[in-house]
Amino acid sequence: MTGLDALLERYARRLARRSDRRGFLAALGAFVVGGAALPLLPIARGFAGDGGAKGAPAEVAGPEGDPTRCEYWRHCAIDGFLCSCCGGSQTTCPPGTEMAPLTWIGTCRNPADGKHYAISYNDCCGRGYCGRCFCNRNEGDRPVYHPYRSNDINWCVGSTSQVYHCSTALVIGLAEEGQPEK
Amino acid sequence: MTGLDALLERYARRLARRSDRRGFLAALGAFVVGGAALPLLPIARGFAGDGGAKGAPAEVAGPEGDPTRCEYWRHCAIDGFLCSCCGGSQTTCPPGTEMAPLTWIGTCRNPADGKHYAISYNDCCGRGYCGRCFCNRNEGDRPVYHPYRSNDINWCVGSTSQVYHCSTALVIGLAEEGQPEK
Amino acid sequence: MLAATLIGAAAAAADIQSDERGQVAVLPAAPGPHWLWVPDRVLRHAALFDGDSGAMIGVVDGAFSVSGPAPILAPKRGEIYVVDAVYARAYRGERKDYVTIYDATTLAVRGEIEIPPRSASISHGCQLAAVLDDERFLVVFNQDPANSVSIVDLEARRFVDEIMIAGCALVYPTGGSRFAALCGNGTAVEVELDATGHQKRVARSAKFFDVVADPVTEKGVRDGSRWLFASFAGQVHAVDFSGEQPVAAPAWSLFTEAERAAGWRIGGTQHLALHRATHRLYSLVHQGGPGSHKDPGAAVWVYDVGQEKRVQEIAVPSLLPAFARPLLELERGGWGDWLLRRLAPNPGVHSIAVTQDAAPVLFVRHEEIGAVGVIDALSGALRREIDEAGVSGPTLIVPGP
Amino acid sequence: MLAATLIGAAAAAADIQSDERGQVAVLPAAPGPHWLWVPDRVLRHAALFDGDSGAMIGVVDGAFSVSGPAPILAPKRGEIYVVDAVYARAYRGERKDYVTIYDATTLAVRGEIEIPPRSASISHGCQLAAVLDDERFLVVFNQDPANSVSIVDLEARRFVDEIMIAGCALVYPTGGSRFAALCGNGTAVEVELDATGHQKRVARSAKFFDVVADPVTEKGVRDGSRWLFASFAGQVHAVDFSGEQPVAAPAWSLFTEAERAAGWRIGGTQHLALHRATHRLYSLVHQGGPGSHKDPGAAVWVYDVGQEKRVQEIAVPSLLPAFARPLLELERGGWGDWLLRRLAPNPGVHSIAVTQDAAPVLFVRHEEIGAVGVIDALSGALRREIDEAGVSGPTLIVPGP
């Protein structure tokens, strides 16, 4: 196999790993920021009343610690363009977009400390597809009849404009356990 | 060089030949069907009064005779998606689209008889990009300040909707000479 | 500066051969047996192909959906419907949702029907809207994020009613003026409309699957009054909607214990297809771990639904050569094509669909490879590849009943 | 079916580390020296990149243009303008044209100004609209297909007037409230606006080029009150707009007779760039035949404008490795990248742009390769490649004066 053949095979493998160009993020719960359009699930109760910002967990080196990479540990259930590649970061929307008030929560293990964290995959909305750093991982994803665990739903649904631009991955706290279904 | 390397080089060469994803067709004149918004140039006078349909010239075998190919002889000044690949043909718009009333005329040599023909590159309008069989050839193209010879202009400009879908290549008659600028 | 004098290209008027201007193609009155719509989320249209010739024969647009527009044919009406939405300023401003009505033969826009501005945008694109068997009502799934459906009267061309379906999702026609939805508590609910399109009756099945332990995917296939669903682990649940209440039959498995242990599972987007006349169920499968339920597969296993057993395995060829051929400007069947076919690995496909005629074809698509494979659905042999079939999109839609 | 009980993922409330929600990034008050807008006709937006880091730092949308939206900065106003249009139903229905006003720091939409629904859509995307030096008026080129310009008052945020410019095209700011256009009879015309935005004065140059024998391209570069244009054959025409009438200087050639005989010619889309402080003119060139004036090139020849002679040649590297790297998931600088760099041929680029700072960079782009090269404009050395820079588009826009 020549070098280019190997490259082509890598491309094929990568395609095989990616299942969805535009979908949304796996969910373990949901909460509303500054509203009560949906019931707050227990997992979100500890965070609904304040703005967070108590400091992020430690990060590791390499792709699992790089927010512009699909391998980043917080992205274990993400499905979309990474805001870190679009003018924002894993916690910040790009200029001119709006962070979706409705979201859904995954659980990802941080290799830096071995702990599981609850991750809120807030979409950034109101501009068209970012088009960079597409990433789809489906740990814990469920069909759309179980909406707050479904990463196929356009979660800009609660925003001013439902046009999807990119996705963030905010830590909202420690989770006691990881994903149950293995 | 391995086979795949050769393929990649072909890709590069192809890219190098294509200069414009979405532009329009080179022009040697212009006419208005059923209207007089623009002066009829002499070349069009013979055809403005009737519907045409006096039979098309002979075709050759191979890519130069295949309307789904960029190499097709009528495409010597085309810039866009070939309607022959979009549900129409070199002379027919795809279902649901509208053939542009304004157009521009090129001169292409038909290898079947060695004669030069005046070609009218009518756009088909009112649906988004077809996205198939993009082809750009610029024989006789001129800048947009010389509009009826410029293939960069969206020639759906005179249609009900200015949204561009694909381009046809109608023979409208014999031309006495080919392109002058060689 | 007149062009003609400058370029010397005056026509010889006595000797004109010329093409007729203004011609626009039309489609045959009835769909061909192997026609296929390919929705595209980037090009924002659905392209219609003839699987026999491989030619694109038409297109309808749709700007809004993250899955690409899904054309829905109503054969008796001779119309095609697309649920769409616009913002007043493309990406911002007031949102307006509507159903575009296309003539099925000319693909011209016949009209439109405004609907509540909350039609769902879901990346898998499956079962987001449907024309009921009566061909009178179109049902559109809404999410804002509460779940509901909009009922559209196709005869009167107007929105009739919105029906809340809390906890349930999507639209599965079940006969007459009835449709079902799948629910987050492991049940199915069926709604019957009255002659004016308002809710007449609601019935719910018993719980037939576990949403956490082994949920069914939304990508069911219809067999008359029954819908067949497959679970993540490969259990087939057939739900019968012919009675007063939906009733699920005992589940059966697509996989043996040994196959399951070897990691075989369902996967992809539109991963099931059914040829009704022969009761053949096509299931896209792969070997993978947890969370791989959306991964593409390179094998389609075929089952006899009555016997509940596998009768055939179809190997899905790599679509990479068909994808790369136009990029590389290679001739189909030429040396470069031959080389590509030998060297290209197989990333598999996400979606499958089968036609309902006596010589059915199986269409296969990878969401990010702009090519569609056309496979003989009985022999499993590759018939052709359609290249330049789009940029990105999840579904394959065979028009017709 | 509450998720928390099912998944056992309850938060340990005493030990929370959490990120602040709702944060949205903003840009610095002034553009960075090496910022670049990359318009995209398929994604229907323009992405802003920092050439120093290679990072995308923002985006503005634009649905209509076949060249992708062109953001126009008015530095003193702190605003960015995009000429756009929508149809009432995305691809059909009533057309409405407007200028979207973005805050240059937040990129939020501050407002919009409706303009006549005939703004031009031209695939090369060059000089379709401009803010005049006064920063009071925005001028938009129209084509329906008659040529005109719309004058927009940015202070009052309203459309002021439409001025016919029959036979002439595009918008070249020339100072104050003045702009020029190129005309099909080989001249340039200059229009001066009065304080209210209406036409005050029109002046026309003598004929300075032959539209058939050797036309100048529309892709001129500005040097104060002068615009420099290059002809298909490589003649440089400098037109001075400082006086009562535009005056063209005698043309000089980019190519020697020997070079011309060897097939060297200009080519591409945005094929000229000027670094004003050093008077260096960058010209994208290739070897080709007639009709190749839009073909990409892999060489940038640099000229001293005052001396009218070539002072440097810059080899443009292949953008294929940067294009393929994310597709193949290769690490920058890894073995695969190394291999690609050795093997990949060079299709050249269509467009170039240069920054105006003391350490300028030259940006290069191929219309169909989603990557941008960042080259040291003085040494010619490649500084970096920006990958995943879009799908397709013709232009490169350096913000700022």
Q: Hey, of B68, B84, B176, B182, which one would you mutate to test binding to chain C, going by the most C CBs within 10 A of its CB? A: B176
pLDDT of residue B10: 57
Q: Give the Cα separation of C393 and C366 in Å (integer).
A: 8
pLDDT of residue A56: 66
Task: Flag whether pLDDT at B54 surpasses 60.
Answer: no
Phi, psi of A174 (to 5 degrees): -80, 145
Percent of chain D with pLDDT over 90: 85
Placement of tokens 């069907």 in the chain: B33
Q: Give the Cα separation of C285 and C352 in Å (integer).
A: 11
Query: CA D274: distance to chain centroid?
Result: 13
Which residues 6+ apart lie within 8 Å of C185 measured at CB?
C167, C207, C211, D1
Which residues 39-78 of A have a C-beta within 8 angstroms of C? none
Q: Do C318 and A12 touch (CB under 8 A)?
A: yes
CB B122 within 8 A of CB B171: no
Burial class (CB in 10 A: 0-12, 13-18, 19+), B17: middle
Q: What is B73-174's CATH number, 2.60.40.420, 2.60.30.10, 3.40.47.10, 3.40.190.10?
A: 2.60.30.10
Return the DSSP state at C342: H
Confidence of residue B12 (pLDDT cuts 50, 70, 90): low
Q: Give the Cα separation of D98 and D112 in Å (integer).
A: 6
pLDDT of residue A149: 83
Q: Give the Cα separation of D318 and D306 in Å (integer).
A: 31
Tokens found for residue D210: 């032959």
Chain B neighbours, 3+ Cβ pairs < 8 A: A, C, D
Q: Do A97 and D24 touch (CB under 8 A)?
A: yes
Per-block mean pLDDT, blocks of 10 residues, chain A (182 long):
51 49 25 26 31 60 92 93 98 97 87 92 96 91 89 91 96 77 52
A23 touches chain C (CB under 8 A): yes
B73 is catalytic: no
B152 is catalytic: no
pLDDT of residue A10: 57
Q: Do D329 and A27 touch (CB under 8 A)?
A: no
Length of chain C equals 401
Nearest residue of C to residue A134, measured between CA atoms: C368
Per-residue burial over C307-334, b if 16 or more Cβ lie within 10 Å, else e, is ebebeeebebbbbbbbbbbbbbbbeeee
3-state secondary structure chain D: CCHHHHHCCCECHHHCCCCCCCCECCCCCCCCCCEEEEEECCCCEEEEEECCCCCEEEEEECCCCCCCCCCEEECCCCEEEEEEEEECCCCCCCEEEEEEEEECCCCCEEEEEEECCCECCECCCCCCEEECCCCCEEEEEEECCCEEEEEEECCCCEEEEEEECCCEEEEEEEECCEEEEEECCCCEEEEEECCCCCEEEEEECCCCCECCCECECCCCEEECCEEEEEECCCEEEEEECCCCCCEECCCEECCCHHHHHCCEEECCCCCEEEECCCCEEEEEEEECCCCCCCCCECEEEEEECCCCEEEEEEECCCCHHHHHHHHHCCCCCCHHHHHHHHHCCCCCECEEEECCCCCCEEEEECCCCCEEEEEECCCCCEEEEEECCCCCCCCCECCCC
Inter-axis angle of helices A3-17 and B3-17, nearest 10:
70
Nearest residue of B to residue A5, measured between CA atoms: B4
Q: Do D170 and B161 touch (CB under 8 A)?
A: no
Shortest distance between the Cα of A113 and any Cα of chain C, in A, equals 23
D90 touches chain A (CB under 8 A): no
pLDDT of residue C360: 98
Side chain identity at residue C9, one-letter code = A
pLDDT of residue B15: 54
pLDDT of residue D337: 80
pLDDT of residue A33: 24
pLDDT of residue C343: 76
Beta bridge partners of C239: C227, C248
Task: Flag whether pLDDT at B163 surpasses 80.
Answer: yes
Q: Give the Cα separation of D136 and D81 in Å (integer).
A: 12
Which residues 11-30 of D have a C-beta within 8 angstroms of A? 11-13, 15-27
Q: Do B95 and C24 touch (CB under 8 A)?
A: yes
What's the Rg (C-alpha) of chain C?
23
Residues of A taking part in catalysis: 104, 123
pLDDT of residue D321: 85
Tokens found for residue D304: 């001293």
Residue D241: which of D173, D174, D176, D171 has the closest Cα?
D174
Partners of residue D392 in chain B, C-beta under 8 Å: 21-22
Domains of chain D: 27-386 (2.130.10.10)
Side chain identity at residue A48, one-letter code = A
Point out the residues of chain D with pLDDT beneath 50: 1-16
Q: Give the Cα separation of D329 and D322 in Å (integer).
A: 11
Active site residue: B73, B79, B104, B152, which one? B104
For chain A, the residues whose C-beta falls within 8 A of a C-beta of chain B are 2, 4-5, 8
Residue A19: which of C217, D214, C329 has the closest Cα?
C217
pLDDT of residue A9: 57
Tokens found for residue C308: 């509940």
Point out the residues of chain C with pLDDT beneath 70: 1-16, 328-329
pLDDT of residue D65: 87
Write out pLDDT tens, residues D201-234: 999 999 999 998 999 999 999 999 999 999 999 9
3-class SS of residue A135: strand
Q: Which member of C66, C170, C291 has the closest CB to residue A164?
A: C66
Nearest residue of B to residue C101, measured between CA atoms: B96
Tokens found for residue C306: 């009555």
Task: Flag whether pLDDT at B32 surpasses 70.
Answer: no
Shortest distance between the Cα of D89 and any Cα of chain C, in A, equals 6
Which residues 141-170 of B have a C-beta within 8 angstroms of C? 146, 148-149, 165, 170
Side chain identity at residue D307, one-letter code = Q
Q: Do D9 and A130 touch (CB under 8 A)?
A: no
Residue C99: which of C113, C109, C86 has the closest Cα?
C113
CB A137 within 8 A of CB A128: no
pLDDT of residue B57: 76
* pTM recorded for the entire structure: 0.89
Q: In chain B, what are the domain boundaries?
A: 3-32, 73-174
Q: Do D3 and A55 touch (CB under 8 A)?
A: no
